[in-house]
């Protein structure tokens, strides 16, 4: 089936926000005398904040009673940092124009709160391209479950098999493949060569590398 819809993850793919989320998480965990290694942090990217906190609180045996305030604290810190300091990743304006010129419907499917997604859509001046902004914030499941991607396809009015999705995290890639969509990954440089990305249909160093040749390859 011909692809005619494209869905983008947001954090770390469209906006350089992962370092800011990492800062927010590190500041929060420091209150509990915890410091994550880079490897530990990357292993949990793509999770919703509530799941991220649950994962690390369980790992470090922190009492669950502190979890709700921790989630709120990280989200508020991250939104403030991203609104003030977030910048577009390379290739963002070009890839939206590329797909618009070819008549694709476009959307965002993110694990982040819808409030942040709206801030980013305006900050990057991409809202006019988007037919939908979908958040896993209030869904039963977050990534790596495919629910947010399946919901996004439904909002676009397309079959999942018609969708090309762009992701930067392993959990996001698993969600896309579970939804039976085409997956393009743009991993962080520090993990670009990891074998775990082999499940993707295409791996790029930057959105700026995507063009007609790559699209034709996915459409075959």
201 catalytic, yes or no? Answer: no
For residue 183, the cross-strand partners are 165
Q: What are phi and psi of 215, to 5 degrees?
A: -65, -45
- According to DSSP, residue 11 is labeled B
Q: Which of 4, 9, 16, 198 is catalytic?
A: 9
9 catalytic, yes or no? Answer: yes
Q: Which of 11, 122, 198, 201 is catalytic?
A: 11
Question: Is 9:172 a contact under the CB 8 Å cutoff?
Answer: yes
- According to DSSP, residue 202 is labeled E
Separation CA 10–CA 12 (nearest Å) = 6
SS3 state of residue 134:
strand
Nearest to 182 by CA among 206, 205, 158: 158
Q: What are phi and psi of 58, to 5 degrees?
A: -65, -40
Is the Cα torsion angle 147, 149, 154, 160 positive or negative in sign?
A: negative
* Residues classed as catalytic: 9, 11
């Amino acid at each position: 089936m011909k692809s005619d819809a494209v869905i983008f993850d947001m954090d770390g793919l469209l906006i350089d926000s992962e370092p800011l989320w990492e800062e927010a998480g590190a500041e929060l965990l420091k209150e509990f005398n915890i410091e994550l290694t880079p490897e530990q942090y990357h292993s949990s990217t793509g999770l919703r904040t509530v799941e991220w906190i649950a994962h690390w609180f369980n790992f470090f045996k922190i009492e669950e009673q502190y979890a709700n305030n921790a989630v709120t604290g990280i989200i508020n810190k991250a939104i403030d940092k991203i609104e003030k300091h977030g910048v577009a990743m390379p290739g963002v304006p070009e890839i939206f124009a590329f797909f618009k010129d070819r008549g694709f419907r476009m959307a965002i499917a993110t694990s982040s709160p819808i409030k942040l997604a709206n801030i980013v859509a305006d900050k990057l001046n991409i809202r006019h391209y988007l037919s939908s902004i979908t958040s896993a914030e209030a869904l039963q499941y977050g990534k790596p479950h495919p629910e947010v991607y399946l919901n996004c396809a439904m909002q676009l009015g397309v079959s999942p098999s018609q969708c090309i999705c762009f992701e930067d995290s392993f959990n996001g890639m698993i969600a896309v493949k579970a939804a039976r969509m085409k997956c393009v990954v743009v991993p962080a440089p520090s993990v670009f060569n990891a074998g775990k990305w082999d499940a993707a249909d295409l791996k790029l160093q930057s959105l700026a590398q995507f063009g007609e040749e790559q699209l034709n390859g996915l459409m075959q």
